[in-house]
A = this chain, B = another copy of it.
Amino acid sequence: MKRVMLTVAYDGTAYHGWQVQDGAQTIESELNRAIEEITHEKVEVSGASRTDAGVHAMGNLAVFDTNARMPAEKFSYALNTHLPDDIKVVASREVAADFHPRFVQTEKTYCYRICNSQFPNPLKRLYTHYSYTKMDTDLMQRAADYLVGEHDFKSLSSIHTQAKTTVREITAAKVERVDDEIRITVKGYGFLYNMVRIIAGTLMEIGAGKYPPEKMQEILDACDRNAAGPTAPACGLTLVEIRILDE
C-alpha cells in the first residue's frame, strides 16, 4: 500500500465543484473513476481544497491510497488518458502513508481575474468575471495592502464558514492590470470559505470608487460580513498553487 499525491488542474465550468455529491459531476468523482479504471480498486481521493462549483485550479492537491504496482510518478500520465480534457493531473508522486495536504502547513495562491473592458471578451468568458465598470487598480492595490499580515477576516468570509477561528495570515496581495484584465493575486497560509471571492468583490467596489482604499481597514475592524462587498462570481477564481511548507 502506498499513498500517492496528485497535482490537479481543471476548468471548473462543467462541474459541481470538487467534492463528491450524489449524482452530480464533480472533480473528485472524475478522479475516483479514472483511478479505479487504472487500479481496479475502489478509491476515494481526498483533496487539499474543496473548490466551489465553477472555480478553476492550476494546482489543487489530492491524495489516495493504492496497492497498485505502478510507480507514483507514472499515475499522472496514466490518469490523463482516462480523464476528460477539462481535468488533467500535472504531477504525481509518493508521499508518506499518513501525509495529507489539508493537515499540514501550506501556502495557497489564488488568482481572481476580472475582464474589465467596454465589451466582454468571449475568449476569456469562462475564466474571468466580466465588468464594464472602470476600475482603478492603484486604489485596489492600496486597499489590498491592508489585507497583508495576520488579521481577523470574519468580515471577508461567508457567514457559512465552519472554521473555529476567523484569524488568518495573508502573505501577499497584488492587483495588476494585464491587457483587458485585472488580476488579483492573493497568497496566504489558509483561507476561509468564500474569502478570496469576497475580497475580490470588495476590491472591485473600491476600484470603482464606491469607497476609498482606507475602507478596507474599517471592514476588517467591523468583524461583520455585511461590512464587506459582494461575493464575486466563481468563474473568475483560480486556485493557482498549494505550496507545502512542512512534509
Q: Residues on A close to B: CB < 8 A?
A: 9-11, 56, 58, 76, 80, 85-91, 118-123, 125-127, 238
- CA–CA, A122 and B119, complex, Å: 25
* In contact, A125 and B85 (Cβ under 8 angstroms): yes
* In contact, B125 and A11 (Cβ under 8 angstroms): yes
* In contact, B58 and A123 (Cβ under 8 angstroms): yes
- CA–CA, A156 and B91, complex, Å: 38
Q: How many copies of the shown chain assemble into the complex?
A: 2
A-B CB proximity, top 8 nearest = A90-B119, A11-B122, A86-B122, A85-B125, A88-B120, A88-B122, A9-B122, A10-B122
- CA–CA, A177 and B200, complex, Å: 30
**Most B Cβ at <10 Å: residue of A58, A76, A122, A127:** A122
* In contact, B238 and A9 (Cβ under 8 angstroms): no
Q: Given A86-B125, A125-B85, are A80 and B11 neighbors across the interface (CB < 8 Å)? A: no
* In contact, A119 and B87 (Cβ under 8 angstroms): no
Chain B residue nearest in CB terms to A91: B119
* In contact, A88 and B121 (Cβ under 8 angstroms): yes
Q: In the assembled complex, which residues on chain B have CB atoms less than 8 Å from the CB atom of A122? A: 9-11, 56, 85-88
- CA–CA, A121 and B87, complex, Å: 9
Q: Is the interface of A mostly helix, strand, loop or mixed?
A: mixed
* In contact, A9 and B88 (Cβ under 8 angstroms): no
Q: Given A90-B118, A118-B90, are A9 and B76 neighbors across the interface (CB < 8 Å)? A: no
Chain B residue nearest in CB terms to A77: B119
- CA–CA, A211 and B11, complex, Å: 36
Q: Given A11-B125, A125-B11, are A119 and B58 neighbors across the interface (CB < 8 Å)? A: no
Q: Given A11-B125, A125-B11, are A119 and B80 neighbors across the interface (CB < 8 Å)? A: yes
Q: In the assembled complex, which residues on chain B have CB atoms less than 8 Å from the CB atom of A87? A: 122
Q: In the assembled complex, which residues on chain B have CB atoms less than 8 Å from the CB atom of A76? A: 119
A12–chain B nearest beta-carbon distance, Å: 9
- CA–CA, A87 and B121, complex, Å: 9
Chain B residue nearest in CB terms to A90: B119
- CA–CA, A123 and B123, complex, Å: 11
Partner of A85 from B11, B120, B127, B238 at Cβ < 8 Å? B120
A236–chain B nearest beta-carbon distance, Å: 12
